[in-house]
Amino acid sequence: MTDINDDFLVQRFFTENRREIADNGFSKKVMRHIPNHYRRISTLWSIGCLVLAAILFYMLGGAHLMLESFRESFNSAIHNEVTGLDPKSLIMVVIVLLYLGYRKLCTLA
């Protein structure tokens, strides 16, 4: 019971003795400078990582590995007598996968 009374008294004291401190635009100035700094760093970091990933992809033969895996997948599908492959559906799958990869790269920033 005394805790409730004490909390009430403390709350009432702070409410009655509340003083506003003049801001004079200080908060706006600070907020204008802080986010831009971190946004620039974030953008530079994302671009740097993207360039590094592209360089590693090229140097490690990523395009060749991807083409070989696609070729192997199509060959195994043909050898397993899957003759009902529709080229339009395969193109749609590739487009959707490219779109999802692009969206994932954009959300990293």
Tens-digit pLDDT profile for residues 33-52:
776 667 788 888 999 999 99
Give the model's pLDDT for residue 88: 83
Whether residues 98 and 88 share a domain: the answer is yes
Cα(44)–Cα(40) distance, rounded to whole angstroms?
6
Domain that holds residue 108: 61-109
Same domain (yes/no): 73, 102: yes
Based on the structure, what is the number of domains in the chain? 2
Residue 33 CB neighbours (<10 A): 9
Could you tell me which of 34, 39, 15 has the C-alpha nearest to residue 109?
39
pLDDT at 66: 86
Q: Distance between alpha carbon 97 and the CA centroid of its chain, in Å?
A: 17
Own/partner pairs for 1-7, CB < 8 Å, 24+ apart?
Answer: none
pTM: 0.39
Q: Which of 26, 24, 6, 23 is nearest to 14 (CA)?
A: 6
Evaluate whether residue 74 is within a structural domain.
Answer: yes
Of 48, 50, 52, 49, the closest CA to residue 60 belongs to 52
Please identify every stretch of the chain with a pLDDT value under 50, giving residue numbers as ranges.
none
The pLDDT value given to residue 109: 58
Q: Are residues 102 and 66 in the same domain?
A: yes
